[in-house]
Structure 1
Amino acid sequence: MPTSMPDIAHNADALQTGTLDWVGMGDIELPLQLASKGLQELPVNAKADAFVSLNKPEAKGIHMSRLFLALDTLSCEQTLTPATLASLLDQFVTTHKDLSNAAKVVLNFELPLRRASLLSGKQGWKSYPVTITATIKDQALSIELAVDVTYSSTCPCSAALARQLIQNAFEENFSGKTLDHDSVHAWLGTTEGIVATPHSQRSIANIKVKLPQGAKEFDIKGLIDIAEQELKTPVQAAVKREDEQEFARLNGQNLMFCEDAARKLKALLNQNNFDDFYVKINHYESLHAHDAVAYAVKGVEGGYQV
């Protein structure tokens, strides 16, 4: 008969006793079938971090293979929903009876969405980084949804300075002259007329929300949509000349500092049914070598901090 294989994690003494907050694995490759409101079920290639607490001070370690196999079942046999996440975490804790009272899983993936152009009617793909974090402790479940939304921000200060230069150029060109519509119209269409333009930059809003207790579904697209609608200038996919012109108009009509973007999203998220939220605004400056950054949270007791 074959001899039994040694189980060091079960039989050996810990080198140092003590409890640990989280023990597990990171960056597990995990294809998943995602279900989210407003979308047909679709496959996503995720990376998963999986953990349980280690509450038994003298235990050598946890059973990592049990976490991996539970994730594999989610990948191969189930669809990703709040309910299957809750079941997964319950299995993490159940299979670590007497070792753990808490479990956590973090799923990172890119969500591809078809996005329409501003005017031309063309469509293209945009991918949005998404993180779903689910935690259970003493049977209390918490699920967080985080998305990154990329947009263009045009500096109000730069716009004002550009307008002043255009006014100065107009004064220099037309001072003392009799104005007529055709000459002014033609001048405005030249580089001498629009002598300066404001600077804008690609910007990213990192948005994290805590789903209400008992949430039955994710609404990833819905969160992205309301954020883009509020910011007005999300980066585009398919672009024809009329779309580029409309994008320029939207930038000119929605000048914003990082503080403006943070306040817009804070007000927006306060209107929605989220238990808590966290916003980080990153304006990757085209003028400066550094970035402009702003944070906002809902401000609930024991909630997200900055």
Structure 2
Amino acid sequence: MTISEISRDTLQDVQGLPDTRGIALDEVGVEGVRYPLLISDALGNKRETVATVTMSVSLADHVKGAHLSRFIDVLHAWRDQLGSQAVTLMADDLRQRMGSATARVTLTFPYFLERHAPVTGIASFMDYTCTLTAAANDLGEELNLGVKVPVTSVCPCSKAISDRGAHNQRGWITIDAKPRTPATGLWFDDLIDVAESAGSSPVYALLKRPDERHVTMAGYDNPVFVEDMIRTVAGALHGDPRIAAYRVRVVNDESIHNHAAYAQIPWTAAAATVAEAGDD
């Protein structure tokens, strides 16, 4: 028999052999996979990006191993249709293909939005690091959205104590949110807008001199601590009926200190979820 005549059925399936140690595994899979895909934006348009992917399934105590090639099979099959509902279907497809009780998919990628300079209106693209995580089991699915958004922050204390000027720095606002359902319409654009509104000023890819002047003065007129930013973000997320739970972290890369300043809020149930629990 030549190599070309060897079929898959004639080769031993080592992963499918039984295991006698009686130890179930919560997660077995692949990580660090870089893959091109199309991700939906808030309007349903498809955007090209390259994601770093982690995919895993649970493994029963009697199963020796997972068939790693099937992870890439599933990823490739869903690569051009990834939105909030599609990614949960992708996770369930993986679960069923692997014969597992649970499956999880995490995609991290640059997400580009066109932004216009505040005075000249000139257009450019800003990139935001976004994460989409979906899990599926016999009871249903779970979806998490994550964004990391750069902002400018001007120090209120520096402004208050200085005869002129105030130090400012790049801040990073990271938001993770669990939509109440995949069909609520919550998307990265919404979380990015919340984050950018909380800083002293958004960050732009392209500014002309009139824009730079405007951004500099607007930031000076709106100084914020990390505490201010995180409270503003939490207030917006807490009252959003599309959100079941959220967590927030804000970090300032301080410009005049040899350290970073940060504030964070752990996973917190949103107001609508709390209200429903009270009704019960």
Q: Give the TM-score band, short-chain normalised.
A: 0.7 to 0.9
**Deviation for aligned residue 1:299:** 2.5
**Deviation for aligned residue 1:11:** 2.6
Specify which of 38, 50, 58 is matched with residue 53 of structure 1: 58
Task: Give the secondary structure class of the aligned counterpart of 1:299.
Answer: strand
Say whether residues 1:293 and 2:277 are aligned partners. Answer: no
- Which structure 2 residue ranges, 5 or more long, are not aligned? 274-280
Cα 1:261/1:144, change in 2 over 3 Å: same
Give 4+ residue runs of structure 1 displaced > 3 Å after superposition.
Answer: none
Specify which of 257, 280, 284 is matched with residue 249 of structure 2: 280
Match of 1:262 in 2: 230
Cα 1:13/1:39, change in 2 over 3 Å: closer
**Deviation for aligned residue 1:232:** 4.5
> Structure 2 length normalisation: TM-score?
0.87
Backbone CA RMSD of aligned residues: 2.1
- Counterparts of 1:66 and 1:202, CA distance in 2: 42
CA contact (8 A) 2:200 2:220 kept: no
Bigger strand share: 2
Cα deviation, 1:18-45, whole Å, max 9, x if unaligned, reads 1111100012222111222236322111
Cα 1:135/1:12, change in 2 over 3 Å: closer
Say whether residues 1:31 and 2:31 are aligned partners. Answer: no
Task: Give the secondary structure class of the aligned counterpart of 2:204.
Answer: coil
The number of equivalent residue pairs is: 264
Cα deviation, 1:193-240, whole Å, max 9, x if unaligned, reads xxx421111000001111122416552223212321343511122211
Match of 1:81 in 2: 83
Specify which of 8, 15, 21 is matched with residue 9 of structure 1: 15
- Counterparts of 2:200 and 2:257, CA distance in 1: 24
Seq. identity, %: 28
> Structure 1 length normalisation: TM-score?
0.80
Say whether residues 1:207 and 2:211 are aligned partners. Answer: no
**Equivalent runs, 1:94-133 vs 2, <5 Å:** 94-97=96-99, 100-133=100-133
- Which structure 1 residue ranges, 5 or more long, are not aligned? 167-195
- Counterparts of 2:200 and 2:116, CA distance in 1: 14
Say whether residues 1:90 and 2:92 are aligned partners. Answer: yes
Match of 2:46 in 1: 41
Cα 1:284/1:81, change in 2 over 3 Å: same
- Counterparts of 1:241 and 1:290, CA distance in 2: 31
Say whether residues 1:69 and 2:73 are aligned partners. Answer: yes
CA contact (8 A) 2:230 2:264 kept: yes
- Counterparts of 2:269 and 2:58, CA distance in 1: 26
Q: Which stretch has the larger CA shift, 203-212 or 238-247? A: 238-247
**Deviation for aligned residue 1:86:** 2.2
Amino acid at match of 2:183: A
CA contact (8 A) 2:131 2:146 kept: yes
CA contact (8 A) 2:112 2:128 kept: yes
CA contact (8 A) 1:17 1:58 kept: yes
For CA contacts below 8 A with separation 6 or more, give which structure has more relative contact order.
1
